[in-house]
Amino acid sequence: MDDGFKYEDYQNTAKWLLSHTKHRPQVAVICGSGLGVPGHAGRLVFGILNGRGCVMMQGRFHMYEGYPLWKVTFPVRVFHLLGVDTLVVTNAAGGLNPEFEVGDIMLIRDHINLPGFCGENPLRGPNDERFGVRFPAMSDAYDRDMRQKAHSTWKQMGEQRELREGTYVMVAGPSFETVAECRLLQKLGADAVGMSTVPEVIVARHCGLRVFGFSLITNKVILDYESQEKANHKEVLEAGKQVTQKLEQFVSILMASIPLPDNAS
């Protein structure tokens, strides 16, 4: 198969998972680089997080690994068929906004689907109406209520650093950006740059999931030709490790703010 999954493929996977666990998750969490449990990337974990049934994806599929976007986003539709109504996305990202520091957490307000500008959209191809409409809106992709709750929760946590909020731009990778590319991305209005998340969010919104998420700023992008620094994956993972606990705590507190499903007894 090289042209996408059929509805039955998603359904079969969802059925298989439901037959292997008693959990019936409301929330799915996709953990990006440095945010999953170290050494356990590639696991799907079911459990209860702060009272909410959750399915956690530790690691994800990336476009830069060579996967087509319909494979990258396969899990999101499976989550939908499991009965999940909320998707939480996390990622590691380079800071484009000059005010951002390494270790900052950015609440994602919006995204720029740069691969989409070149035709790489996960919804490209025939549309299955059972998942959603042909032309889904993306102007409200990141849930406003959850963003407000994230800010108030952050204040209650008494953190010294402020919670950042901004626009995430996706690049395909795997090469990091040139200086000229970083300057361009800044001019486009992006605050953070990374190589994931956007395809999953598009597919999640298409099938009606509530979405919110965070970027962990693991490095500042290089904007100056005189700079001796270079972006590298090790620095990304190191910065991830140091803030992991805080972000995990933050996400788990926020679970309680996700509205209960209508059918909750």
String of contacts with ligand HPA for each residue 148-187, x by CB under 6 A: -----------------------x----xx----------
Q: Which of 10, 14, 33, 93 is catalytic?
A: 33
Q: For residue 23, indicate whether it is catalytic.
A: no
- Out of 219, 247, 251, 255, the residue judged to bind ligand HPA by CB under 6 A: 219
* Site track for ligand HPA across 21-60, x = CB under 6 A: ----------------------------------------
Closest-approach residue to ligand HPA (CB):
94
- By the rule CB under 6 A, 106 interacts with ligand HPA: no
Reply yes or no on whether 127 is catalytic. Answer: no
> Hey, is 160 helix, strand or coil?
coil
* Min separation Cβ 148 and ligand HPA, Å: 27
Residue 110's contacts (CB-CB under 8 Å, 6 or more residues apart) are 141, 142, 166, 167, 168
Task: Tell me whether residue 80 is one of the annotated catalytic residues.
Answer: no
92 touching ligand HPA, by CB under 6 A = yes
Is 20 one of the catalytic residues? no
Residues 6+ apart with CB under 8 A from 111: 141, 142, 167, 168, 169, 170, 197, 198, 201
String marking each residue 186-215 x if it binds ligand HPA according to CB under 6 A: -------xxx--------------------
Is there a catalytic annotation at residue 233?
A: yes
Among 18, 231, 237, 253, binds ligand HPA (CB under 6 A): 231
**Which one of 80, 91, 219, 239 is the catalytic residue?**
219
33 is a catalytic site residue: yes
Question: Between vectors from CA 156 to CA 152 and to CA 161, what angle results, nearest 5°?
Answer: 85
Phi and psi at residue 212, in whole multiples of 5°? -150, 160
Residue (25 or 240) nearer to ligand HPA, CB: 240
What is the widest separation between alpha-carbon atoms in the chain?
61
Comparing CB distances to ligand HPA, the nearer of 55 and 195 is 195
Identity of the residue, 219 or 244, whose beta carbon is nearer to ligand HPA in the bound complex: 219
Q: Which amino acid is at 190?
A: A
Q: What angle do CA 103, 183, 228 make, to 5 degrees?
A: 65
Residue of 130, 132, 49 lying closest to 88 (CA atoms): 49
Nearer to ligand HPA, 92 or 150 (CB): 92
DSSP string computed for 57-92: EES---GGGT--HHHHTHHHHHHHHHT--EEEEEEE
The string over 120-148, giving b where at least 16 C-beta atoms fall within 10 Å of a residue's C-beta and e elsewhere, is: bbbbeeeebeebbeeebebeebbbeebbe
Choice from 49, 123, 150, 236 touching ligand HPA (CB under 6 A): 236
The residues annotated with a catalytic role in the active site are 33, 40, 62, 64-65, 92, 195-196, 219, 233
Per CB under 6 A, residues contacting ligand HPA are 92-94, 171, 176-177, 193-195, 218-219, 221, 231, 236
